[in-house]
Structure 1
């Protein structure tokens, strides 16, 4: 194959990620032409409504998927946390890359950390998962919606609209913009459990065996194991952006893996949380089994109620 076309969103971070994958592919296929084709997704266009309120799933992937199915592109690069656990016919997750920093991050110009925030401080986030975690940590703070790309969100913080905001650490680090705010501090996953696949790039392709084989060189074994657990956990619970779910699998050694997971109400009033260690050889079923443990404790009913009250 002489040429590969990567479908990508136009945001600065999406372009960084697509350029990164392009460079990685060129290491393995130096003679192959790799081109980026830019698209604007529904999630990029709707900036005044919380994503969970308009569906969440697939808002940043649909237009890229249509391009692949129409033959306009061969693959798409996604933040894996944005990729639904089920795919349209003719599409698949062909590879996941080595994980970057999976933590969420605290950003502020006036305060060093969440602990240092004064009573009633205004914190920006629209993520239901982060809202739940923040309310569990600091029930006194005021939460305010925060939409837009990374640069827009930081600009709102710098304009004084918030005392602090919470973003994924990896996006800030990739763009090298940590110093655009006075205080940038990643939050330990023991304090705030990330979303499934956070800081991993997912490479989506058609089911064309030639394309799948080409991008398979990008697949990272550890990231594959961790993301399989996380995505199967969410898939079993039938959850996504519309409900507060955090799950993080971390390989401890060659034999064992730790899985942290939490589901609950956006206001933190109710939640179910588990922290387990499992045999790494069972990674294909660990997520499903853990999800069943949550279901046995009433997780599905809890998430149904969480979805109904979110953003009302």
Structure 2
């Protein structure tokens, strides 16, 4: 079999993480698969990096790559991350690739017609991490000097951390992971920056993590830490092939989170945060909305039983065979119910003001 992969680092990730599971599964033996499987992903993204180096023989065939080219403005725009997915979805629609790998937090909760999330892989640590300037190694956000400048590109992080650490200053920082780390290390503009722990770990930079933020300090973004495989909904063979990659617990947690965000009519960059966990067949979802400066917020927690049955439908853009349909229904209702609770307390007004203030910056 020849495997054509778009994005050089994605080739390594696909060979290491996907091929062994798919080709070694009982399901794969029954599939009459294409002679070419073409995978798309952002060329600078952590989803396509889980090995230190590319070796041409790892893919078992031809390996080529392409890049996405998306220009963003210097300020945070509500929903801007959907731009990262557009070019890849265009390639999927034109049949230039067979599947696309995303960070799930970059995917809108409503996908374009004809697309579905065919697999959600086991979640990495979803929490945020603090990376310190070399001169502050050993410190935490609690112990940094007063008025230290913390870099973050996220409205969600800034809103929560401003409330939790009022003695610190927060400033935008732009670029991919390499660029942000370079800005931190080579200049004295920032005492620390805050990034997703999962992205750092997938790039092999665990040693840069100085602190993992607890939920009481900073809850994470919807879908953070999870990788999603987007496919054409009509491609039954590809759907069946990638379905073996689903991690049931991650699927349920992310369905609840995405349903929560969708009901709030939020995007990837609104100040909305979540925390989920599964314990004793119960799915717990904590969700919150914030004003831009963190001074106004709403937060609550709900739970539901994750029951088992064999229904298979699409929920919040996710088609998850092998994950109990009743549990998926419960997860989706949980997210919607929690969002409705916060909306009844004034969440819409908080988010509306946040959008208006952000647009005016």
TM-score by length of 2: 0.77
Deviation at 1:35, TM superposition (A): 4.9
Tell me the equivalent position of 1:23. 16
Q: How many residues align?
A: 298
Tell me the equivalent position of 1:308. 356
Structure 1: runs of 5+ lacking an equivalent: none
Equivalent of 2:258 in 218, 222, 231: 231
Equivalent of 2:75 in 50, 54, 61: 50
Determine the C-alpha separation between the residues in 2 that align with 1:257 and 1:269. Answer: 29
Tell me the equivalent position of 2:227. 201
Determine the C-alpha separation between the residues in 1 that align with 2:83 and 2:131. Answer: 26
Determine the C-alpha separation between the residues in 1 that align with 2:76 and 2:36. Answer: 35
Is the radius of gyration larger for structure 1 or structure 2?
Answer: 2
Structure 2: runs of 5+ lacking an equivalent: 25-32, 40-64, 308-329
Tell me the equivalent position of 1:96. 120
Gap change, CA 1:132 and 1:257, over 3 Å in 2: same
Tell me the equivalent position of 2:340. 292
Verify the 8 A CA contact 2:117 2:231 in the aligned structure 1: yes
Equivalent of 1:75 in 88, 91, 99: 99
Tell me the equivalent position of 2:214. 188
Query: 1:269-288, aligned counterparts within 5 Å?
Result: 269-281=295-307, 282-288=330-336
RMSD of aligned Cα (Å): 2.1
Determine the C-alpha separation between the residues in 2 that align with 1:190 and 1:250. Answer: 15
Tell me the equivalent position of 1:247. 274
Determine the C-alpha separation between the residues in 2 that align with 1:5 and 1:196. Answer: 31
Verify the 8 A CA contact 2:149 2:170 in the aligned structure 1: yes
Tell me the equivalent position of 1:115. 142
1:221 aligned onto 2:248: yes
Equivalent of 2:154 in 121, 127, 133: 127
Deviation at 1:217, TM superposition (A): 1.2
TM-score by length of 1: 0.89
Determine the C-alpha separation between the residues in 2 that align with 1:214 and 1:117. Answer: 49
Gap change, CA 1:274 and 1:21, over 3 Å in 2: farther
Gap change, CA 1:81 and 1:6, over 3 Å in 2: farther
SS at match of 1:95: strand
Tell me the equivalent position of 2:108. 84
SS at match of 1:114: coil
